[in-house]
Amino acid sequence: MLLSLSIKNFALIEKLSIDFSKGFSIITGETGAGKSILLGALGLVLGKRADLTSLKDKEEKCVIEAQFDVSKYNLKSFFEANDLDYENQTIIRREILPSGKSRAFINDSPVNLSALQELGLFLIDIHSQHQTQELSNENIQFQIIDAIAGNLEFVQEYALLLKSYKQEKNKLSALFESLKEAKKEQDYNAFLLEELLAAKLIPGQQEELESIFEQLSNVEFINEQLDKSLAVANEEQFGVLQNLKEIKLALQKIASMSSDYNLLFQRTNSVIIEFDDIVSEIDMLSEKLVNDPEKLDLINQQLQVLYSLQKKHHVDTIDELLVIQNDLENKVISVDALENDIKLIETTIELKMAELNSKAIKIRENRLKAVPVLSEKLIYFLEQLGMPNARFKIEVSEIQQFSSNGKDEIQFLFSANKGSDFGLLKKVASGGEMSRIMLAVKAILAQYSKLPTIIFDEIDTGVSGEIANKMSEIMRKMSENMQVFAITHLPQIAAKGNEHFKVFKTTIGNQTLSELKLLTSEERVVEIAEMLSGKDISDSAINHAKALLN
């Protein structure tokens, strides 16, 4: 419940601080006195957007603070989810800075407007004349019937499942699109992959083939050079090997005379050994060298395949071709993988659809049971409110597609008079009738769910006399289980409140201010008498006011 409200620098309010109690509270005041300002301030606390026009003094910030007792609303999970400190007496503060920026706090922790709006749904239901038209909204009608049907938990479970179902459907659509694109390229990718696989690519293969090709292409020239090398090395009188041996023999004769000479001898001997090995290697290579035109042709073909593939794929090496080959393998395989993924998701969707249908059937069954209960209670309240011939026909019918709260559509059909046909509520009910129906709905909902603090903003529009008495009695009855405020112009309703607040304007210098005060018993008599007879209060009006107040 709303415990207190403090307003500073908002619209016509310079500074205001007021405490509220549980039960039924009345707010009255002349038109334009500032009742809408109070609702506007509460709206800001509940997360409505603000602007600079709200500031009375454009150089000062506006601060609105409301204290709520939230102990009965099971809101600890909300506070935990939003990383907020939970307090049974929670304070919400809203600040509008002269710069136009707005800040919001819950128990002194900064929050964004979405969190404030979510919390606000649990705290205050501000019912205005405009909101009465929401009765024609199908979602509101479902909320009413589901509260009576005890469906709220089922609908929440259904909504979460529907969200998951839609996510899977979106995944499936994306996979089908990917599969469509993959299939478009599959044949071409498979052809490219086949080409690369046929080439039997091996890292380092190109360099080896190019080397063999170079040798086979120059067999005669290579053979000529090897023979020439062997001739120079082995020529009997002037060959390199013979000359080295002559040098070795000369150095051997003086090796014992000096370590330097001995070292030269040893080095020459090593050269001879190495050179002899080189000559043997040249000889062996010369013998292995064969002119093989067929092998040359084969290697040339292999190289041309490689060069062609490299040109086609705009690369220069086999390693790069192997990367492309791996990528193409993944793309070709991905079609099969996508098809498998699609089958899995289709199975998941079928299971979720079956579960959704099961929950939707349960929700519908509960709704159908609640329809006669709601109709009966509406008729009961409307009889009290001067509509003895009011009749309701609430039709819940199945639809094929999944909606946000089940697989139903709902129609509230209404007839106000005997002999008149049923018609859609929004088309056949007058403004005064809609106000009474809405009050009846709120009174019924108060029996089935923990409504937050409720503020009726001139719900009595279009009614008077005995009907106003009945309205006030219904609101008073509601206030036994919840906090109820009624902003009213009718003395019959004003007299039923446990507390009575008056909104009024005062002029100080060149400034007009709106103020709110809790009336004493004597002040209350005068206020209600004024509501009965106007500014010129008669003795009969005073007596009438006292009678109303009992």
- Cβ(12)–Cβ(514) below 8 Å: yes
| Identity of the residue numbered 6 | S
Has residue 276 been placed in a domain? yes
Same domain, 22 and 100: yes
Same domain, 27 and 108: yes
Quote the CA–CA distance of 252 and 539 in Å, as a whole number: 155
Provide mean pLDDT across the span 293-309: 79
Same domain, 113 and 206: no
Asked whether the predicted pLDDT for residue 257 surpasses 90, the reply is no
Quote the CA–CA distance of 123 and 15 in Å, as a whole number: 24
Has residue 493 been placed in a domain? yes
Q: Report the domain count for the chain.
A: 2
Provide mean pLDDT across the span 283-302: 76
Has residue 344 been placed in a domain? no
Crossing angle of helices 431-448 and 465-478, rounded to 10°: 20
Same domain, 104 and 248: no
Has residue 12 been placed in a domain? yes
Same domain, 224 and 308: yes
Quick one: pLDDT at residue 446? 84
Same domain, 198 and 320: yes
Asked whether the predicted pLDDT for residue 345 surpasses 90, the reply is yes
Over its C-alpha atoms, the chain yields an Rg (Å, rounded) of 48
Same domain, 186 and 122: no
- Cβ(406)–Cβ(364) below 8 Å: yes
Quick one: pLDDT at residue 237? 66
Neighbours of 16 (CB within 10 A): 20
Asked whether the predicted pLDDT for residue 13 surpasses 90, the reply is no
Same domain, 210 and 315: yes
Quote the CA–CA distance of 68 and 453 in Å, as a whole number: 10
Quote the CA–CA distance of 477 and 189 in Å, as a whole number: 77
DSSP states of 153-168: HHHHHHHHHHHHHHHH
This prediction has a pTM of 0.66
Same domain, 29 and 94: yes
Same domain, 89 and 222: no
Quick one: pLDDT at residue 355? 95
Provide mean pLDDT across the span 252-266: 87
Q: Tell me the two tokens of residue 53.
A: 């026009």
SS3 assignment, position 393: strand
Q: Cα-flanking dihedrals φ and ψ of residue 64, to 5°?
A: -125, 130
Has residue 377 been placed in a domain? no
Same domain, 192 and 329: yes
pLDDT tens profile 157-178 = 999 999 999 999 999 998 888 8
Quote the CA–CA distance of 30 and 548 in Å, as a whole number: 20
Dmax (CA) for the chain in angstroms is 159
Higher pLDDT, 312 or 112: 112
Has residue 351 been placed in a domain? no
pLDDT tens profile 91-129 = 999 998 888 888 999 999 999 999 999 998 889 888 876
Gap between the terminal Cα atoms of the chain = 27
Higher pLDDT, 53 or 436: 436
Asked whether the predicted pLDDT for residue 191 surpasses 80, the reply is no
Asked whether the predicted pLDDT for residue 88 surpasses 80, the reply is yes
Question: Where is 466: in which H helix or E strand?
Answer: helix 465-478
Crossing angle of helices 152-198 and 138-149, rounded to 10°: 110
Q: For 10-24, 55-69, 229-243, 473-487, which range has the lowest pLDDT when averaged over its residues?
A: 229-243
pLDDT tens profile 440-490 = 998 898 888 777 799 998 877 767 778 888 889 999 999 988 899 999 989
Q: Is 423 exposed, middle or buried (0-12, 13-18, 19+ CB in 10 A)?
A: middle
The domain of 486 spans 1-128+450-519
Domain boundary among 336, 365, 395: 336
Quick one: pLDDT at residue 268? 86
Domain boundary among 336, 366, 381: 336
Same domain, 82 and 213: no
User: Whats the size of the chain, residue-wise?
Assistant: 550
Quick one: pLDDT at residue 187? 67
pLDDT tens profile 357-412 = 999 999 999 999 999 999 999 999 999 888 899 999 999 999 999 999 999 999 99
Has residue 400 been placed in a domain? no
Quick one: pLDDT at residue 483? 92
Asked whether the predicted pLDDT for residue 282 surpasses 90, the reply is no
Quote the CA–CA distance of 151 and 141 in Å, as a whole number: 13
Residue 38 is part of a domain; what is its CATH number? 3.40.50.300
Domain boundary among 336, 357, 381: 336
Has residue 397 been placed in a domain? no
pLDDT tens profile 16-47 = 899 999 899 999 988 777 788 888 889 899 98
Quick one: pLDDT at residue 203? 84
